C-alpha cells in the first residue's frame, strides 16, 4: 500500500522549510522594507512571487485541477531533481527506469547517489509490466519513471499499463508527459483528482502515488523561459514546496507564462501544424534507401533507423542541419525534431540528395553494431554490440563471475558490449549462460554483416601460469574444438561444464570456427585466460584491413 510518509526521506520530513519575506507577507502595502531589496523602482527590483500564484491560477483553469496540485520549477528538470532529493536516501535507495529513455533521470540518480534499476522496453518500446513488478518486488525501488510519449523512442505508453503498475507499486510513479500535447491521447491528469472525468475500471479513485510532469518547453514553445510543471496530490506538492529554492521561478518567466496562458487558444494551431509536418516527414523520408525504419511517433520528433547513421549525421552537419545521434540508446538511430515547414523541406531535400551521391563514408565512420533482444520462457536477454566503439560496457547476468568474463570480451576485444540478462537462475545457471552465448553469437553475425574488409582470422597465445590458445575464423561455418579440462565443479558460481557450452553456442550462432586449448594449474586463471584470448582473437578478426573486399576467394562468407 502506498503511504507517502513511508517513502519521504526522514530528514525532509523533519526539516523546517525556509520562509521567505514574500512567503510571510503577500498582501498589499505601500512600503516594503522586509526583503533587503533595492528600494529604487525598476521593473525588477522586487523578488518574484515565490508561489507563482497567478501562473498557477491560470494553469489550474486550463488543466481542470486545483492550484494546490501544481508545482512549478525551473524546467521540469528541476522537478525531477527535487523528486530524488525528497524521496531517495543517497547510497541506499533505488529507482526503476525503462530504458532507453530521457537521460536526466539517470543523471539525477547518479548525482544523488541513488541506485538505478533498468528494465528494457520491449522490442516495440512498451513496458513489460510483469517484469517491472518482479523487479519492484525484489529490489524495492522508491520511484518508477515512465516517460510517455517516451524520449527518444517517441511512442506513448498506454495508460492502463501505467495504472496497473501504479496500483500495485507502493512508491511513486512519475509519468513524464513532456510531449503529451502532440498526441490525441489525453494526459493522465484527470486521474489525480477525485472528480476524475476519466474513471477507468482500474481507477475509480484518485491515484495518490502518481506524479505527472509537463513542461512549457515543447508544445508551448517556451524552452527559453525554463518553466516546468509537476502535478500531484496536495501532500506531494507540499513536499516540493518545502524543499524548493525560495524564488525558483523568476519574475520574467512568470510574466511571459501569464501572457501565454492568457492566449492559450493559440497553442492548438501550432501543435496541429507540427503534427501534420510530422506526417509529411514520415511520408517523404520512408522511401529513402538510407532509411531502414521510422518508429511510430506521438511526439514532436521522429526516431529513425538509418543504414548508416554516422554518415547521415555528418553529411547533414556539413549542410548546417543538426540532428541528434541516439545510436548509443537505440542502435542505428538518429532523433530528428519536427521543424517549421521550410526547415523540414530543407531536411527532406538534403536527405534525398544524399541518396544520389555514391556512398563515400570513410571506413572509420561506419559502425558495425547489433541489438539483439532474445526472449524465451527461460531467459530474457538484451545485447548491444558495437565493434567500432568501445564506450559502452555494462553487464548484468545475475552471475558475477560470468559478468567478469563478459567484461574481458569487451575490454580485450576493444568493443562496446552491453549484456542484460534476466534468467531462471532459481533453476540453475545453464539457460542463462547458453542463451547469452547464442544471443552474443547472433549479435556478432549481424554486426559483421557482409564481412567486407575484415581480417577474418584471429588467434593468440597469452601466457599466465596458464597457457590459453584461441584461434578463430568468422568464415561462416560453426565448428568448435575444445581442449581444456577443469577439475573444479564451479568457479565463482559458474559451472565449469558451461564454459565449453558457452563457446559452442557462440560458434553456432556467430557461424565461426573456434579452436580453444588451455592448460595450467590455477582454474580461475585458466578460464580468464581463455576469455581474454577469445577477446583478442575477436579483436584481430573484426579489425578492418582498409581494403573493402570480402576476405575469401569464394567472394562471399
Ligand atoms: N522530460 C523529457 C522527456 C524531456 O525530453 C525533456 C527535455 N528534453 C524534459 C523532461 C525537460 O524539460 P524542461 O525543459 O522542462 O526542463
The model's pLDDT over 351-376, given as tens digits with 9 standing for 90+, comes to: 999 876 544 444 445 678 888 889 99
Taking the CA of residue 382 as centre, how many other CA atoms within 13 Å lie in the half-sphere pointing to its CB? 18
Residue 88 burial (CB < 10 Å; 0-12/13-18/19+)? buried
Q: What is the pLDDT of residue 465?
A: 78
Describe the chain by its helix, strand, coil percentages, rounded to 5: 40, 20, 40
Q: What is the DSSP letter of 469?
A: E
* Cα(103) to centroid(ligand 1), Å: 9
pLDDT value at residue 205: 63
User: Of 95-104, 126-135, 191-200, 499-508, which range is least confident?
Assistant: 191-200
| Ligand 1 atom having least distance to the Cα of 78 | 16
How high is the pLDDT of residue 160? 92
Pairing of strands 172-176, 210-215: parallel
Nine-digit cell string for 85: 532529493
How confident is the model over 308-333, as a mean pLDDT? 95
Task: Specify burial of residue 305 (Cβ count, 10 A radius: 0-12, 13-18, 19+).
Answer: middle
Q: Which residue's alpha carbon is at the smallest distance from atom 4 of ligand 1? A: 178
> 390, 418 in Cβ contact below 8 A?
no
Q: Which residues contact 60 (CB under 8 A, 6 or more apart)?
A: 66, 67, 69, 70
51 has a pLDDT exceeding 60: yes
CA–CA distance, 340 with 273 (Å, rounded to integer): 9
Tell me the H-state helices in 75-211.
76-87, 104-111, 129-139, 159-166
Q: What is the C-alpha to C-alpha distance for residues 467 and 520, in angstroms, rounded to an integer?
A: 6
Q: Which of 76, 81, 174, 216 to mutate to test the pocket of ligand 1 (most atoms within 8 A of CB)?
A: 76
Q: In what order do the strands lie in the sheet with 369-375?
A: 369-375, 379-386, 416-423, 393-396
Q: Is the CB of 147 under 6 A from ligand 1?
A: yes
Q: How far is the CA of 77 from the centre of ligand 1 (A)?
A: 6
pLDDT of 195 higher than 60: no
pLDDT band of 452, cuts 50, 70, 90: confident
Which of the four pLDDT bands, split at 50, 70 and 90, describes residue 500? very high
**pLDDT value, residue 354:** 85
Residues 9-15 have a mean pLDDT of: 97
Mutate to test the pocket of ligand 1, among 102, 229, 257 (most ligand atoms within 8 A of CB): 102
Residue 538: exposure state from Cβ atoms within 10 A (0-12, 13-18, ≥19): buried
Tell me which residue has cell 486545483: 66
Q: Looking at residue 463, what is its pLDDT?
A: 62
pLDDT for 20-34, tens place per residue? Answer: 998 888 788 999 999
Evaluate whether 468 touches 529 at the Cβ level (below 8 Å): yes
- Reported as a pLDDT band with limits 50, 70 and 90, residue 168 is very high
pLDDT at 203 over 70: no
Quickly state the pLDDT bin for 192 (edges 50, 70, 90): confident
Predicted confidence at residue 297, as pLDDT, reads 97
pLDDT at residue 535 greater than cutoff 80:
yes
pLDDT attached to residue 238: 97
Kindly tell me if the per-residue pLDDT of 196 is higher than 50: no
Angle at 109 between CA 104 and CA 112, to 5 degrees: 125
Mention every residue, 6+ apart, whose C-beta is less than 8 A from residue 81: 108, 111, 112
| Beta strand extents in 321-368 (DSSP E only) | 324-325, 333-337
Assess contact for 507 and 477: CB atoms under 8 A.
no
Q: 221 C-alpha vs ligand 1 centroid, how far in Å?
A: 12
Pocket test for ligand 1, best of 146, 157, 217, 222 (most atoms within 8 A of CB): 217
Is the pLDDT assigned to residue 313 strictly greater than 90? yes
Tell me the β-bridge partners of 471.
459, 515
- C-alpha to C-alpha distance for 430 and 491, rounded to whole angstroms: 14
- Give nearest CA residue, ligand 1 atom 1: 178
Cα 484 vs. chain centroid, distance in angstroms?
40
Q: What angle do CA 253, 254, 260 make, to 5 degrees?
A: 90
- Average the pLDDT over 406-419 and give the result: 92
Report the range of poorest mean pLDDT among 67-71, 113-117, 205-209, 254-258.
205-209
Q: 75: CA distance to ligand 1 center in Å?
A: 7
Evaluate whether 525 touches 467 at the Cβ level (below 8 Å): no
Ligand 1 geometric centre to CA of 364 (Å): 33
Q: Is the pLDDT of residue 350 over 90?
A: yes
Cα–Cα–Cα angle for 478, 479, 485, nearest 5°? Answer: 135
Question: Which residue reads 525558483 in cell numbers?
Answer: 248
- Which three-class secondary structure state does DSSP give residue 38? coil
Residue 373, CA atoms < 13 Å, CB-side half-sphere: 9
* Best CA proximity match to 397, nearest among 431, 348, 448: 431
Query: Which pLDDT score, from 0 to 100, does residue 453 have?
Result: 83
Predicted pLDDT at 197: 46
Residue nearest to atom 6 of ligand 1 (CA): 178
Instruction: Flag whether pLDDT at 542 surpasses 50.
Output: yes
What would the grid cell of residue 65 be? 485541477
Averaged pLDDT for residues 439-457: 89
- In this structure, the dihedral spanned by the alpha carbons of residues 426, 430, 433 and 435, taken in order and rounded to 10 degrees, is -100
What pLDDT is recorded for position 360?
45
Q: How far apart are CA 297 and CA 279, in angstroms?
A: 9
Q: Say if CB 299 and CB 179 are below 8 A apart.
A: yes
How high is the pLDDT of residue 474? 92
Strand order in the sheet with 479-483: 457-460, 467-473, 513-519, 479-483
The whole-number pLDDT of residue 194 equals: 55
Mean pLDDT of the chain: 92
Look at residue 83 and tell me whether its pLDDT is greater than 90. Answer: yes
Query: Percent of the chain, pLDDT > 90?
Result: 81
Q: Kindly report the protein residue whose alpha carbon is nearest to atom 13 of ligand 1.
A: 75
Task: Choose among 521, 514, 477: nearest CA to 499.
Answer: 514
Residue 204 has a pLDDT of 53
Contact between residue 63 and residue 231 where contact means Cβ atoms under 8 Å apart: yes
What integer pLDDT is reported at residue 364 of this predicted model?
A: 46
Say which range, 103-112, 246-255, 356-365, 371-380, has the weakest mean pLDDT: 356-365
Mean pLDDT of 132-157: 97
150: its cell numbers: 517516451
Residue 199: band (very low, low, confident or very high) from pLDDT cuts 50, 70, 90: very low
Segment among 19-28, 82-91, 267-276 with least mean pLDDT: 19-28
Alpha helices in 88-155 (DSSP H): 104-111, 129-139
Contact 418, 439 (CB under 8 A): no
The average pLDDT across 47-75 equals 96
- 77 CB under 6 A from ligand 1? yes
Largest CA distance in the chain: 93
Q: In degrees rounded to 5, what are phi and psi of residue 142?
A: -85, -35
Helix (H) or strand (E) holding 376: none
How far apart CA 96 and CA 23 sit, in angstroms, is: 36
Rounded to the nearest 5 degrees, what angle is found at the Cα of 163, between the Cα atoms of 161 and 164?
65
Ligand 1: atom nearest CA of 76 is 15
Output the residue whose Cα is nearest ligand 1's atom 12: 76
Amino acid at each position: 500500500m502506498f503511504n507517502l510518509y513511508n517513502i519521504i526521506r526522514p530528514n525532509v520530513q523533519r526539516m523546517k522549510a525556509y520562509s521567505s519575506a514574500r512567503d510571510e507577507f503577500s498582501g498589499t502595502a505601500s512600503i516594503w522594507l522586509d526583503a533587503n531589496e533595492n528600494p529604487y523602482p525598476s521593473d525588477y527590483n522586487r523578488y518574484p512571487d515565490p508561489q507563482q500564484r497567478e501562473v498557477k491560477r491560470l494553469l489550474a483553469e486550463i488543466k481542470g485541477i486545483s492550484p494546490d496540485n501544481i508545482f512549478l520549477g525551473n524546467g521540469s528538470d528541476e522537478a525531477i531533481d527535487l523528486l530524488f532529493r525528497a524521496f531517495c536516501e543517497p547510497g541506499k535507495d533505488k529507482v526503476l527506469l525503462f530504458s532507453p529513455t530521457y537521460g536526466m533521470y539517470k543523471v539525477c540518480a547518479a548525482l544523488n547517489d541513488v541506485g538505478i534499476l533498468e528494465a528494457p522496453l520491449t522490442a516495440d518500446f512498451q513496458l513489460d509490466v510483469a517484469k517491472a513488478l518482479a523487479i519492484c518486488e525484489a529490489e524495492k525501488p522508491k520511484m518508477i519513471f515512465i516517460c510517455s510519449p517516451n524520449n527518444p523512442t517517441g511512442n506513448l505508453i498506454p495508460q492502463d499499463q501505467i495504472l496497473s503498475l501504479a496500483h500495485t507499486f507502493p512508491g511513486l510513479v512519475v509519468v513524464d508527459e513532456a510531449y503529451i500535447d502532440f498526441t490525441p491521447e489525453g494526459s493522465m491528469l484527470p486521474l489525480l483528482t477525485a472528480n476524475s472525468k476519466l474513471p477507468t475500471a482500474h481507477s475509480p479513485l484518485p491515484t495518490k502515488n502518481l506524479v505527472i510532469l509537463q513542461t512549457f518547453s515543447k508544445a508551448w514553445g517556451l524552452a527559453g523561459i525554463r518553466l516546468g510543471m509537476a502535478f500531484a496530490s496536495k501532500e506531494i506538492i507540499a513536499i516540493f514546496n518545502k524543499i524548493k529554492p525560495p524564488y525558483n521561478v523568476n519574475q520574467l518567466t512568470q510574466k511571459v507564462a501569464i501572457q501565454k496562458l492568457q492566449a492559450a487558444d493559440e497553442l492548438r494551431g501550432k501543435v496541429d501544424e507540427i503534427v501534420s509536418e510530422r506526417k509529411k516527414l514520415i511520408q517523404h523520408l520512408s522511401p529513402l534507401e538510407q532509411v531502414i525504419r521510422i518508429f511510430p511517433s506521438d511526439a514532436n520528433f521522429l526516431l529513425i533507423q538509418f543504414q548508416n547513421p554516422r554518415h547521415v549525421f555528418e553529411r547533414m552537419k556539413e549542410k548546417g542541419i543538426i540532428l541528434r545521434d541516439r545510436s548509443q540508446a537505440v542502435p542505428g538511430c538518429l532523433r530528428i525534431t519536427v521543424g517549421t515547414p521550410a526547415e523540414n523541406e530543407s531536411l527532406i531535400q538534403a536527405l534525398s540528395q544524399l541518396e544520389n551521391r555514391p556512398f563515400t563514408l570513410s571506413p572509420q565512420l561506419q559502425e558495425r553494431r547489433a541489438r539483439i533482444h532474445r526472449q524465451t520462457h527461460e531467459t530474457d536477454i538484451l545485447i548491444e554490440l558495437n565493434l567500432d566503439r568501445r564506450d559502452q560496457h555494462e553487464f548484468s547476468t545475475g552471475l558475477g563471475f560470468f559478468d567478469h568474463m563478459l567484461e574481458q570480451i569487451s575490454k580485450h576485444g576493444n568493443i562496446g558490449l552491453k549484456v542484460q540478462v534476466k534468467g531462471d537462475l532459481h533453476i540453475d545457471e545453464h539457460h542463462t549462460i547458453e542463451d547469452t552465448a547464442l544471443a552474443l553469437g547472433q549479435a556478432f553475425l549481424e554486426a559483421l554483416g557482409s564481412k567486407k574488409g575484415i581480417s577474418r582470422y584471429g588467434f593468440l597465445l597469452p601466457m599466465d601460469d596458464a597457457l590459453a590458445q584461441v584461434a578463430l575464423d568468422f568464415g561462416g561455418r560453426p565448428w568448435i574444438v575444445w581442449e581444456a579440462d577443469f577439475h573444479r565443479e564451479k568457479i565463482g558460481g559458474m559451472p565449469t561444464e558451461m564454459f565449453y557450452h558457452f563457446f559452442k553456442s557462440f560458434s553456432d550462432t556467430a557461424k565461426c570456427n573456434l579452436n580453444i586449448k588451455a592448460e595450467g594449474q590455477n582454474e580461475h586463471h585458466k578460464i580468464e585466460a581463455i576469455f581474454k584470448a577469445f577477446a583478442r582473437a575477436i579483436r584481430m578478426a573484426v579489425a578492418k584491413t582498409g581494403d573493402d573486399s570480402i576476405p575469401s576467394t569464394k567472394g562471399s562468407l
